[in-house]
C-alpha cells in the first residue's frame, strides 16, 4: 500500500468520523444493557440498536459499563446473538476499571428489573 493510498484512507476515515459526530447520541448505562441482554426491554432498546446499525444514531457505552452488564448475567441468561448485535451497534469508550462485586451485581439487577 503506497503513501497515496494511506492518505486517501485517512481522508475517508476523517470524513466518516465527522459524519458520525453529527448524529444524535445516546449513552446506555449498565442496567439498560443488562435489561436488553436478558430480553426484558420491551423492544425499546432493540429499536435503538436497529437505528444505530442503520447509522441513524450513535449508541455509546463505557467498557466498564459493558463489563458490569455482562458480569451480571446468570448462566441461564446468556444470549450470544444479543451480545453480538449489541457489540456491533455500540461505540465503546474507555473508562476507569474496578472489580465487579456481588453487591454491585445485586444493585444493577435490582435497577434493571425494578419495573418488571
Give residues with Cβ within 8 angstroms of 94, minimum separation 6.
62, 63
What predicted TM-score, i.e. pTM, was given to this entire model? 0.73
Tell me: pLDDT of 116 over 70.
no
27-69 tens-digit pLDDT: 999 999 999 999 887 778 899 999 999 988 999 999 999 999 9
Amino acid at each position: 500500500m503506497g503513501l497515496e493510498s494511506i492518505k486517501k484512507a485517512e481522508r475517508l476515515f476523517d470524513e466518516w468520523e465527522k459524519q458520525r459526530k453529527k448524529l444524535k447520541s445516546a449513552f446506555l448505562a449498565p442496567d439498560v444493557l443488562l435489561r436488553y441482554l436478558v430480553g426484558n426491554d420491551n423492544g425499546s432498546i432493540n429499536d435503538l440498536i436497529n437505528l444505530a446499525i442503520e447509522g441513524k444514531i450513535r449508541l455509546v457505552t463505557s467498557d466498564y459499563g459493558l463489563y458490569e452488564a455482562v458480569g451480571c448475567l446468570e448462566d441461564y441468561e446468556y444470549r450470544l446473538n444479543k451480545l453480538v448485535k449489541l457489540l456491533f451497534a455500540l461505540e465503546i469508550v474507555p473508562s476507569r476499571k474496578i472489580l465487579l462485586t456481588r453487591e454491585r451485581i445485586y444493585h444493577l439487577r435490582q435497577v434493571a428489573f425494578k419495573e418488571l
